[in-house]
Structure 1
Amino acid sequence: MDSFKHRGNRRRLIDLLRSKGISDENVLTAMNKVPRHLFLTSAFEDHAYEDKAFPIAADQTISHPYTVAFQSSLLDISPGDKVLEVGTGSGYQTAVLVAMQADVYTIERQKSLVDFSRRMLRKINLEPRYQTYGDGYKGLPSFAPFDKIIVTAGSPILPSILLQQLKIGGIGVVPIGETNQKMFTFLRVDERRYEQMEFGDYQFVPMLEDKDIL
């Protein structure tokens, strides 16, 4: 399942991420634990530890390892943080968050990916606290508030209904834009105000565009 070769390739990937500026050792340690090749189709297994995105089921993609590392770093995870992940995908980002000792609640709109990710996460014993199928734009208000929120698909506009599910002092990481996105963080200052920061250009598959956003 996770061979000596896989582990060696994973260590080289971690070295590459470090050379590209990822300095959060909590993130790097977690990513060194997670067998990314299990979250790809077998056709791409030999390339699983390259810093590349790959197609997965349901016309979705698994993000570049650098993107996973960067978004995870922006979350500034502490053990026990309650994290909402919007867009489980194949489950790789979920596994990284769980390996960082976050208390993860994750939602995915593609049923085939929910089923696949559940199998893989169970297989490697990195299961989230709660996983479901549904409309990610709405978040999981019944479990709110969250310490952190991460969106792993491009949102055409700011999904404020998600940010309302953050605790005061909580951080949201959201790529916003149409074809290309800007990465943003939102720090919830109080009931009404958020401090916003921008972190450059990225490219994600889009969130559904026919959903209501407040």
Structure 2
Amino acid sequence: MIRIRKRKNPITYDVAEVPVLSTKRPMLNAQTDLYRSNEKLRSLMNEEKYEQAKKLFIELVKSNRFHFQHLWKIGVEIIGKTSPKDLTGYLKAVFISSPVKHSAETFNVYIDYLIAENSWELALDEIQPRYDTPIFHHPILLRKMAICCYNLWKSARNNLPEEYLEDGERNENDLRIIRYEKHLRFAARYLSEAHKTYSGDPELLLIYYDVGLEISTRKLTNCCHSI
């Protein structure tokens, strides 16, 4: 009977835990180069030599010998320091390529960055189609959707025609009004749902009141659910 040898999976390392070895030590085994690369990366980052760290980081990613869990977080710091304009793309790529068990974590970091950059519409577009799936159906994402819609509503409100603000005159074909009422509807809906979980959240309470006041003032019967 012919025995079939099982192919061993390559050993992978955690950049946060790989032992620090002196680069002056002689070559001990096949893994020594990986240890040294990890130590070199730490050293470059401690010295804030981020351009050099970026080159080494890319090679470590290509080697596929380090765990995903901490490696991507190091990349956030390096990309943020060297090419911040690429950070949005990097975070999205990390989320898309992340193992399922890290999907929620990486997605939240990606969305938090978009919100910090005031990219409300992009953040909302990323959350909405995923929110109803089990892995992303979490109150924290509901809260983030409410905040995005609130800020989009405020932006749309600033672009409303004067006649609408003064006497409520509504042109059904005016895209500015359509956009305003759409975001008001979504803000009311998501705020109402999020408030049930985060009833003591001061930021949510403030915008919840703001949206509620707007609805009662406008009396938009076809605009949104009661809040």
**Larger gyration radius, structure 1 or structure 2:** 2
Bigger helix fraction? 2
TM-score interval, normalised by the smaller of the two chains: under 0.3
Bigger strand fraction? 1
Q: TM-score with structure 1 length normalisation?
A: 0.23
